[in-house]
With several copies, the nearest count.
Chain A
Amino acid sequence: MKVQIDFEKCKGCGLCVTACPKKILKMGAKSNKGGYFVVECIDKEQCIACAACAYICPDSVLEVR
């Protein structure tokens, strides 16, 4: 399953984007109810489940399996 994003919880801070060694996370164009633009995974296949993104995310938005 690798990385999973909880759309409503993301605050769009962009920290996970900087953390991902595979550069597969990027800020999306869609905003959630909180008005935040939510991060997207542009290529789940490449995800190595390293959890760097999950560790840096302040809001426990990302789950990595």
Chain B
Amino acid sequence: MESKIICAGFGGQGILSLGKFMVYAGMEQNLEVTWLPSYGPEMRGGTANCSVVLSDKPVASPLITKPNILIVMNTPSLDKFESKVEKGGLILVNSDLIERKISRDDVTVKYISANTIALELGSARSANIVMFGAYVKYGGVVSKDTALDALMHQFEGKKGADSIKKAFEAGYNL
């Protein structure tokens, strides 16, 4: 089992954190994990993405060229990565920011109004948490409890922890 995920979107959407949540969840479940961000000043105001691998064997290559899961938070990222997803893979689309539909029919697609949901829950900035919830549901390598545990661990003692949980649940229960 090796899950190769690319998360992509604008800088400031919490893309890199989204990837880290997966990694922490994977660790909690005793998986081997890697997280590799795009980096450098070209990120300034531009796009951000990260590659996450969760595996039951040591991760050989942290660099993903063909993800089996793609989580996209804006249109340019979808344009860039859509064609790279493996046949039979999964694409989670933030439909609040991406108007178009996926053109492939050999992948599973979920459209998620992550921003709307987050806003409704009163925490506009947790669209990425909503996506994380959806990932745990559909991406399926970590259990819901483990994932939630790992996530809440990151927000331990911080205010707004409660709305984080709500956002996660909302994403998971879509």
How near does chain B come to A8, taking the closest CB pair, in angstroms? 13
* Residues in A whose Cβ lies below 8 Å from that of B10: 35
0 or 1 for each of A28-48: is its CB under 8 Å from B? (1 = yes): 000000110000000000000
Closest residue of B by beta carbon distance from A34: B45
The size bracket of the interface on A is: under 10
Expressed in whole angstroms, the Cα–Cα distance for A27 and B69 within the complex equals 38
Within 8 A of A (CB), among B23-67: 45
Total interface residues on B, using CB and 8 Å?
4
Expressed in whole angstroms, the Cα–Cα distance for A35 and B75 within the complex equals 12
How near does chain B come to A9, taking the closest CB pair, in angstroms? 12
Expressed in whole angstroms, the Cα–Cα distance for A11 and B45 within the complex equals 9
Total residue contacts A-B, CB cutoff 8 A: 5
How near does chain B come to A14, taking the closest CB pair, in angstroms? 15
* Residues in B whose Cβ lies below 8 Å from that of A34: 45
Expressed in whole angstroms, the Cα–Cα distance for A8 and B74 within the complex equals 17
Expressed in whole angstroms, the Cα–Cα distance for A12 and B47 within the complex equals 18
Expressed in whole angstroms, the Cα–Cα distance for A11 and B46 within the complex equals 12
Closest residue of B by beta carbon distance from A11: B45
How near does chain B come to A55, taking the closest CB pair, in angstroms? 23
How near does chain A come to B27, taking the closest CB pair, in angstroms? 32
Expressed in whole angstroms, the Cα–Cα distance for A42 and B83 within the complex equals 44
How near does chain B come to A61, taking the closest CB pair, in angstroms? 14
Closest residue of B by beta carbon distance from A36: B45
* Residues in A whose Cβ lies below 8 Å from that of B45: 11, 34
- Please provide the 5 A-B residue pairs with the shortest distance between their CB atoms, ordered closest to farther: A35-B10, A34-B45, A11-B45, A35-B12, A35-B74
Chain B residues with CB under 8 Å of chain A are 10, 12, 45, 74
Between-chain CB contacts (< 8 Å), 5 pairs: A11-B45, A34-B45, A35-B10, A35-B12, A35-B74
